[in-house]
Structure 1
């Protein structure tokens, strides 16, 4: 029974590759965000939503773009890696976006909670917001187009296979009906 999952050996390779890339990316994120920092002082945690983003925007120009871009980009690959590992071609776009964004938010929250025990790292609620927004933006930018492209290719493959099957059946020799002899 067709469940909307990508099937076949090519799909399995895509899902496995997605899983390997997902684990690799999460290992990099863990190393990058959970390593101790040697700093002369530690700023207090930011528990006020959007306060850090406003402060970054107040810097203006390239520095603001760099800081906000880094927050958006850190977990952004999860926006397409999570659906890639899941492997559903026929999924509700809104449902897929919500599931992927929620998973990104939970992973970002887990990182933020783990950072509280790492020297030099402080909790910043804005990083959670930026990370989640990055996951959602990457999902919206990549996943619908990728699903459409894969569905189109899968449908083309099915039509080609059906035509080949029909032509193979047409070449099968037929035996003429013979009536009963008197």
Structure 2
């Protein structure tokens, strides 16, 4: 049984399967990147003050600040596209889809932040949680609505082409005029 508003047919299976494989691969890469121990002579204290790390990055100057902020925003940004792809709905309310995706991205980022407390050489940073969540939201807003609209148009064109072909092979369905009730 197919869910209301989900992508139909084999295209749905391919999109969901591809999205699932890419999601698992991306999360494995993120886990490897953020949870492996670092061999450093000292560890910075945890940053639990929002925007303190961003202000410190901005104090470093333009190119270095842009690189650090872009890395933080881009780390979990693919989740903004992969999570809706795994879900597979074409007809989803855009705000609800955004909220679900951003909440899931924030929870993944929070999980990473909590796991980093036990990893040697890693210090949790609340700004990474904020920037990762912003990255998920930006990627979702930039890609998902346009991709869903394109897929909806594509499926509508295919459905109308199938109807036209069926009419051509079977002939047009006869229509009968409405007959009113006799006095």
Q: TM-score range by the shorter chain?
A: over 0.9
Alignment match, 1:37: 38
Select between 33-42 and 162-171 the one with higher mean Cα deviation.
162-171
Residues 49-86 of structure 1, C-alpha deviations (whole Å, 9 max, x = no match): 00000111111211000000000000000000000000
Q: 1:2 Cα deviation (Å)? A: 6.4
Q: 1:11 Cα deviation (Å)? A: 1.6
Q: Does 1:145 align with 2:133?
A: no
Q: 1:16 Cα deviation (Å)? A: 0.2
Alignment match, 1:24: 25
C-alpha RMSD of matched pairs (Å): 1.4
What aligned pairs does 1:9-158 form with structure 2 within 5 A after superposition? 9-158=10-159
**What is the number of residues matched between the two proteins?**
172
Find the aligned partners of 2:95 and 2:28 in 1 and give their Cα distance: 28
Which secondary structure state, in structure 2, belongs to the residue aligned with residue 116 of structure 1? helix
Find the aligned partners of 1:18 and 1:114 in 2 and give their Cα distance: 25
Change (3 A) 1:114 1:151: same
Query: Between Structure 1 and Structure 2, whose CA radius of gyration is higher?
Result: 1
TM-score, scaled relative to structure 2: 0.92
Find the aligned partners of 2:3 and 2:43 in 1 and give their Cα distance: 55
Find the aligned partners of 1:169 and 1:92 in 2 and give their Cα distance: 37
